[in-house]
C-alpha cells in the first residue's frame, strides 16, 4: 500500500513539474498525440478551444491544485488560454495552483472564495490529509463533509490510500478562514467584461455560484458539477439557465450550459 501511494505521489509530482515548467514534452503531447475520448467533456472542450480564433478566457471557481481531475488544465496550457483561477484553500493555492501557472502570464490566480458580500467565512476540510481526494472535499457547507464521512466515502478513501482515519471528531473536520469577494469586485478588479467559459467545482454549492454570476455577466459557456446538488437545486439550476437561454448537456457528474443566440 505504501509503495502504491509513493508511486502515485511521484507520478503526480513529475506531471506537475512538467506542466509547471511548460516542458515541451508535456505541451507537445497534448498538441500532437492526445485524443480525447469520444462523447466526453474533454472532447467538447477540445473542440471549443480549437474553434476560437483567439485564446479562450476562462474563469474557474474552485481550481484546487490546478491539474488533478481538472478538465481544462491541458487546454489552458496547450492553447495558451487567458483567465482567472480562484481557489480558497491556502495550502493548495500556495503549493500548487500558484506555482503551476507561474510561467503563464495570461493566467491570474486568486486565493479567495466568491460570495454575496465581502467577508471572511470558515472553509470546512478534512484535518488529517492533504491528498488531492481529501482537498477536493473541502466546502463552505459543513454538511457536505459530514455526509461524506457518514456515508463511509472518506473511510474508503483512507483504506485505499493507506491512511488511518482518526477517531477524534476534532481532527476529522477542521476549518480555515477564507476571504470572500463578490462577483462585482472580481469583474472590476480584473477588468473582465466577457467570459468564454465559467468553470465551477465547489462541492455542493455550484448552484449558489451560478446565481451570483448570472445577474452580473452571462458567460458563453458554463460548466458546473451537479453531482453533489440536491434534487431540488438540480432542477432550480436547470430552470434558471434555461430562462437565461442556455442549452444544457450532461457529461457524467458535470452539466455544460451553452448560451443560445437570440436569432436561434
What's the DSSP call for residue 197?
Answer: E
Q: What is the pLDDT of residues 187-196, one digit of tens each?
A: 999 999 999 9
What's the mean pLDDT when you consider all of the chain? 95
CB neighbour class for 148 (10 Å; exposed up to 12, middle 13-18, buried from 19) = buried
CATH topology of domain 18-120+182-259: Rossmann fold (3.40.50)
Please write the tens of the pLDDT for every residue from 152-200: 999 999 998 889 999 998 999 999 999 999 999 999 999 999 999 999 9
DSSP for 67-122, please give it. STT-SSHHHHHHHT-EEEEEE--HHHIIIIIHHHTTT-TTEEEEE-EE-SSSEEEE
Flag whether pLDDT at 263 surpasses 50: no
Burial letters 19-38, b for 16+ CB under 10 A, else e: bbeeeeebbeebeeeeebee
Domain residue spans in the chain? 18-120+182-259, 123-176
pLDDT tens, residue by residue, 111-148: 999 999 999 999 999 999 999 999 999 999 999 999 99
What pLDDT was estimated at residue 196? 97
Amino acid at each position: 500500500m505504501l509503495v502504491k501511494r509513493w508511486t502515485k505521489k511521484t507520478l503526480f509530482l513529475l506531471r506537475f513539474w512538467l506542466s509547471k515548467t511548460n516542458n515541451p514534452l508535456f505541451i507537445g503531447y497534448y498538441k500532437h498525440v492526445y485524443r480525447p475520448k469520444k462523447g466526453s467533456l474533454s472532447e467538447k472542450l477540445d473542440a471549443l478551444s480549437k474553434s476560437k480564433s483567439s485564446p479562450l478566457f476562462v474563469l474557474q471557481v474552485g481550481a484546487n491544485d490546478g491539474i488533478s481531475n481538472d478538465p481544462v488544465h491541458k487546454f489552458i496550457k496547450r492553447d495558451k488560454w487567458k483567465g482567472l483561477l480562484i481557489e480558497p484553500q491556502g495550502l493548495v493555492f500556495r503549493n500548487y495552483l500558484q506555482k503551476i501557472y507561474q510561467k503563464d502570464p495570461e493566467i491570474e490566480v486568486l486565493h479567495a472564495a466568491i460570495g454575496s458580500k465581502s467577508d471572511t467565512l470558515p472553509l470546512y476540510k478534512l484535518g488529517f490529509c492533504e491528498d488531492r481526494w481529501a482537498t477536493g472535499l473541502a466546502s463552505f457547507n459543513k454538511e457536505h463533509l459530514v455526509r461524506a464521512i457518514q456515508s463511509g466515502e472518506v473511510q474508503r478513501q483512507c483504506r485505499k490510500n493507506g491512511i488511518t482515519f482518526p477517531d477524534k471528531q476534532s481532527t476529522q473536520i477542521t476549518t480555515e478562514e477564507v476571504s470572500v469577494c463578490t462577483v462585482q469586485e472580481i469583474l472590476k478588479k480584473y477588468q473582465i467584461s466577457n467570459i468564454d467559459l465559467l468553470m465551477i467545482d465547489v462541492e455542493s454549492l455550484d448552484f449558489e455560484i451560478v446565481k451570483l454570476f448570472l445577474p452580473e455577466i452571462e458567460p458563453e459557456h458554463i460548466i458546473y458539477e451537479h453531482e453533489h446538488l440536491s434534487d431540488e437545486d438540480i432542477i432550480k439550476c436547470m430552470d434558471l439557465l434555461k430562462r437565461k437561454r442556455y442549452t444544457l448537456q450532461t457529461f457524467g457528474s458535470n452539466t455544460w450550459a451553452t448560451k443560445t443566440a437570440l436569432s436561434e
